[in-house]
Amino acid sequence: MKISFKFKEILIMLKKILTLSLETTRVILSPLIPSSDKYLDLSKLIVISSLVLFCFLYFAGYVFPGGAVHYTNWASVIVDGGKLPLTVAQREVGLPILYILTGFTKFNSFIGPTVAYGLFGIFIVLCNYLAISLASKSIAYLTSLILIISFAPFSYIKFFYPDQLYIFVIEALLTFLIFFIWTNRYIYLYLFSFFAIYASLTRTSGNLLFFALIFLTYVIKRNGLKHYLFCLLIGVGIFGLNQYHRYDIFDLKNQVNTKPVGKGYQILYSTYMWMGDFGYKLSPDLGPNTKLLLSRMHEELSPSPRDSQLLKNEFGQTPPKFMEEYMYKYSTEELIEKVISEPGEEYFYNIIFPIKRQGIANSDTDDEFQFEIVKEIWTGYPLYIIKYGLRNLFLILFDPGWSNPRYSKAGFIRQGLEFVGSAYTFRAYSTDSVDHIGENAVREQELHQFRTISPKIQSFFISAKEWHVRNFRLYVYLSSIFIIIGWILCLMLLILKIFRSSFWENKFYEHEKIKNICLSIFFSSIILLYENIMTALFSQPHFRYFHITEAWRFAIIGFSIALMMELKPLKLINFSLFKKQDTRSRFFLHYKKIFFIASILFSLSLITFWVKDIFSETHGTYQFSFLESKYVNTKDTLPIDQITFKSISQCTLYKCTIEIPKESKLYSLSAAEKWQLEVKYQCKNIRNPNPKTAYAKFLNEKYIIEYDCYPN
């Protein structure tokens, strides 16, 4: 009896230990486990995505790539007045509007746009969850969690092109479109229309999106015609205002010789680039404009490529070694033959791009002339666009990372994956200058906060980067499988509906939920395919354009899994196992809205901390604090007094300019090459102002001191 009693006690104790262990495990894993309540799921996603955003705010470097200055100039011209050159006509007004709304033009600072881009990253995650949760909250949570882990919503928060804005706007319009499909509430149709119109004003590839989607939505839903017509009326009105704005800001009234069709050189770029891959070449037989291009090419490259003004202008900013090996060594006729039979980026940017019907480009190109050449290539080689379009479409969908790299004759090759968060930094990557914007902008772009963080945290981020790069292709292939499965299931249901409707209609397709899931997959796929077709036809299937579409791919993946769960023959997992794991306690249920508000405050506090930190390091007065100054040469040392320096101006985080009065006795020493100015200094407003030593360069009657304000 005693043994039996003790054994019973032991079993009770083991049960308590097991229960406690399970509860502890449940608490630890609760961020990874879906809830049965929407507010708790949203709260967890906000917290997790905010932590990832916080990491990217510190670890990612600012990128201001070639062409980014077009958008900042556009915003400044809208505010201050003026005109823009025709080369900017290839851009859209969406990003300049965001710059204005976030205070960039008022404060000459990138902090506002960066915060907006960061918030967009969080909104992308939340939109993904809210859309898929209409089919299944559990699946919505898990796919949103994987979306965060993919880093797709945050990769471009410091990349000052419209990419991040465009990803968010498309994700928002897709979410509201799906809400409209499921609820038939017209407020969502209007919200969808707003974001679709803004998408059309953000990137060239989005120009047709609004009209295509509004037409398809009406064809499928076929109700509320007046609401669709009103949305169309709003869209036409806004596009009309945009055309008037472009007419005014590009001064088209006074453009006599050429007017921008908008995208001539961009379309010519993609049309020209792949001709050699499929055995095609430029020929005067294509039409009068192509014939004129080749004639003008011969004219501009004469008497020889080395002596031609066209190549001396360095439109492509190509390294001299490449120019010597692939351009200068050829005769005019030989180089033209290379250009037309072996297409490449350097040939396009240095030779084809700047040639106009009369003269060569300076501040603008002959966009209309370039578009006429494109039309002749399309009509002369009608199968060519289909061939390269299908190849590029397959690659961007299922095997991204291919391109024709610059400064190379390697041709169309697979590129290594660059982890956007760390591979891009302002000093290493950006090509456009921000000096004209202002001192604050320069300091912000030069600051790479990753260098100021402890080595242990740096190593963690480097490990995350390596893990991301190592597993990226596996992630692409697995996600592609789920997308294909979703497409196949929808196609099967459509076939069953058409050919065996009397037997299957009540069991499968006519179920309202299944119908809505299929429509959600359909519209998500339309947006994905539309964007990828634009990429396939007018750009290259490299990683940047794949990253743009990742969030939309997750919408298809989530709904595809939800469809699999709804079809009994394909039911694989009982997602009810995940429910109520962290909501059994009445405490969570009772205070769920408080937790939701707390998660928002937590997110805002992290962003505020970063804003305060970068503001303290890049704004305000950056005094150059001297500790000791002396002139030195190989034998002698001459101490000097700090007051001999007249003024300090244009200090950034890396450089300071010091003027010395000409009447000073030390001016002659400054001009003497045998003397050097050695300065020990301290940087103010820097987290670790260690004393450092620098040697100043005397240039144009001023000293230039380059210094490092970061800890070693």
Q: What is the pLDDT of residue 353?
A: 83
* Residues facing residue 414 across a β-bridge: 402
Q: How large is the average pLDDT for residues 15-41?
A: 68
For 636, the token pair is 């002698």
Query: Which of 295-299, 301-305, 518-522, 684-688 tops mean pLDDT?
Result: 518-522
Strand partners, 655: 706
Tell me the sheet residues that pair with 679.
629, 694
Q: What are 274-305's pLDDT values in tens digits?
A: 998 999 999 999 999 999 999 999 888 888 88
Spatial contact of 172 and 123, defined as CB atoms under 8 Å apart: yes
Instruction: Provide the greatest CA pair distance for the chain.
Output: 112
Q: How far apart are CA 273 and CA 269, in angstroms?
A: 6
Q: Rounded CA gap, 228 and 210, in Å?
A: 11
- pLDDT of residue 590 exceeding 90, the answer is no
Write down the pLDDT at residue 211: 93
Which stretch of 124-128, 183-187, 649-653 has the lowest confidence by average pLDDT? 649-653
Summarised one tens digit per residue, pLDDT across range 380-410 is 999 999 999 999 999 999 999 898 887 888 8
702-706 and 692-699: which strand pairing? antiparallel
pTM of the predicted protein model: 0.83
SS3 category, 46? helix
Q: Quick one: which of 604, 605, 589 has its CA closest to 40?
A: 589
Residue 667 is predicted with a pLDDT of 60
- Residue bearing tokens 């001709």: 275
What mean pLDDT comes out for the span 112-135? 96
Q: Is 662 in a helix, a strand, or coil?
A: coil
Show Cβ contacts of residue 509 under 8 Å, excluding neighbours closer than 6 positions.
493, 494, 496, 497, 501, 515, 518
Closest CA to 386 of 212, 264, 533: 533
Q: Identify whether the C-beta of residue 97 lies closer than 8 Å to the C-beta of residue 113.
A: no
Listed by start position, the domains of the chain span 2-29, 33-245+440-609, 281-380, 622-706
Q: Which of 344-358, 412-426, 534-548 has the lowest mean pLDDT?
A: 412-426
pLDDT > 60? residue 472: yes
Report which of residues 160 and 676 the model is more confident about: 160
Residue 705 has pLDDT above 70, yes or no: no
Query: 457 or 657, which is more confident?
Result: 457
d(CA 488, CA 555): 16
Mean pLDDT of 199-221: 91
Q: Is the pLDDT of residue 86 over 50?
A: yes
Distance CA 167, CA 96 (A): 16
Q: State mean pLDDT over 559-577.
A: 68
Q: What end-to-end distance do the CA atoms of the chain give, in Å? A: 73
Q: Which of 462, 442, 465 is nearest to 451 (CA)?
A: 462
Band the pLDDT of 573: cuts 50, 70, 90: very low
Per DSSP, the residues of 461-485 read HHHHHHHHHHHHHHHHHHHHHHHHH
* DSSP assignments along 329-352, one per residue: TS-HHHHHHHHHHS--HHHIIIII
Mean pLDDT of 607-634: 72
Residue type, 275: M
- Answer for the pair 25, 8: CB distance below 8 angstroms, yes or no: no
Q: Which residue(s) pair with 259 in the sheet?
A: none
- Are 450 and 61 in contact, with CB atoms under 8 Å apart? yes
Tokens of 702: 């001023």
Tell me what the mean pLDDT of segment 625-635 comes to: 61
Name every residue whose Cβ is closer than 8 Å to that of residue 673 and which is 6 or more positions away in sequence.
Answer: none
Res 120: pLDDT: 97
In terms of Cα–Cα distance, which of 268, 249, 325, 335 is closest to 71? 249
Please give the residue that has the higher pLDDT: either 376 or 5: 376
* CA atoms 299, 305, 309, 314: torsion sign: positive
Let me know how long the chain is: 712
Burial of 223 (0-12, 13-18, 19+ CB in 10 A): exposed
- Adjacent-strand bridge partners of 705: 656
Cα angle 335, 341, 343; round to 5: 85
The two tokens of residue 37 are 């309540």
Closest CA to 560 of 525, 531, 508: 525
Q: Show Cβ contacts of residue 153 under 8 Å, excluding neighbours closer than 6 positions.
A: 49, 120, 121, 122, 124, 125, 147, 167, 551
> What separation in angstroms does the CA of 690 have from each of 511, 608, 653, 686, 708?
70, 27, 14, 9, 10
Buried b (16+ CB within 10 A) or exposed e, 342-377: ebbbbbbbbbbbbbbeeebbeebbbbbbbbbbbebb
- What's the Rg (C-alpha) of the chain? 30
* pLDDT tens, position by position, 326-343: 899 999 999 999 999 889
Element (H, E) at 489: helix 455-499
Give the pLDDT of residue 46. Answer: 96
| DSSP SS3 for 541 | coil
Q: What is the three-class DSSP state of 27?
A: helix
**DSSP state letter for 415:** P
